[in-house]
Structure 1
Amino acid sequence: MDSTLVLKQLNFRKDETKPIMVLLVDDHEIVRNGLKMILQNQTDIEVIGEASNCDEAIEQIRTKQPDVILLDVKMPGKDGFATMEEIKKVGCESPILLLSGYNYEFFAQDAIESQSSGFITKDSTKDFILNSIRLVVRGGLVWERDIFRKAISNLKLQQKMQLNNEKLENEAPLLTELLSPREQEVLQFLSGGAANKEISRSLSLSEISVKKLVASIIHKLGVKNRTQAALAVNKYTIKDHFG
């Protein structure tokens, strides 16, 4: 299990003599059959039920009380993460191993945030799947090491980008602090591609006055021309006339 990352101290099961009761939840019968073939010859693991969607899974959980749930993340209707929420609502505390067939790096990030007991892919080896079931039923959190590292790295990058965006937004000056009300009106027209003559007519100003206002806007925004002034609007917190 060199590729396995176990993130919690393991506990003993209440009754080690009983097999681990597993519920398979996947909308593809071929996947469920493949998993059953892997699990069926294990003396310590028993498949007690199957489900192809959220509603069937909840019904199986209520009647059969599985020890471990293998849950596909991508299902029609309610996906694996929504199904997890429904499982929690019925009071089931059984560990959930999320299962993904593709785009696993994207889903792995969601799996971390959803606090599932682990994440395995449909390409995982037989031994990895079996050992994952045995570990999570004892309280472990199981991941394939490389997938976990990539998911954590992506989450950190997303958090950093979010912090940077929030910082930029908080530091962005208000246009109302930079420009006069009349200059804000002119800039609104500039951002729409209006020429001086059109602005002059719309605001009942002379073209000379409009030219002076445009020059003032360019200077205050620190840009080189009217086109850059129009594009610079996106850099500022916009209120009032631009809200």
Structure 2
Amino acid sequence: MELVSFPAIYDTAFQFRSAQKTVDFIEHCADMYTDIPVESIVEFACGSGFFTVEFARRGYHAYGVDIDEAVCEYARQKGWNESLELSILCADMTNVALPQPCDLAVNLFDSLTYLVDEQRIIAHFRTAAKALRSGGLYVVEIGLIDDFDNHNVKDVWTERRGECAVTTIYVRHGEIHPEDHAFTEECSFCIACRDDVSYVVMKNRKLALTFDEFVGLVERSGCFIPLVFFDDFEPDAFLAEGARPWRVIAVLLKT
């Protein structure tokens, strides 16, 4: 797919994330932590459909929810290109209704903290609960700031697709605004395709949360019970007691 749109650029930049490994882990969680059979999955903040498409490849009825129409259309096109059954809804993840409840939900790439308000996060948890059957799991990948050195980071990498290369400079700025308790996440993309070079910069505000604050928001929603926490997408990567890495994978059970 030619890199002619921002969704394609973003999709290429983050293709180093293994959708197969992540979905393997989610299937393991479904086997271990819920008694209901999982036939349908919804991904909130699905973006370019990186994981939604992988769910559909494995035979699940896959739903993706994102607020950006361009990335929704890109995700739909990826599904059509592979003749996959998936449903992409362009909607706000704090207030979206699925045609029917799903068996499992996910929220990856630390997308929950794009909701730069605690009340909106609580509203999202309640929306997610309505989208799930009783006993369904919600797997959330969340970035945390307990270790400030891990929070203030800069990474550079290059990914290639066809004749094009995307070099990404990713920065999580260390300054946390005192009023809204948010920080700035910045991605700068350099796209080199044959003889053409272009640049795109993406900036987002994200809510700065500690581990305890995240757990508190889950509890305040009144919809989920935290079952287990991991620090990687590996079945044995349980979060050690007292450990506070920059990223945690939380497995929540709908009550």
Highest CA radius of gyration, 1 or 2? 1
> TM-score, with normalisation over the residues of structure 2?
0.31
Give the helix-richer structure, 1 or 2.
1
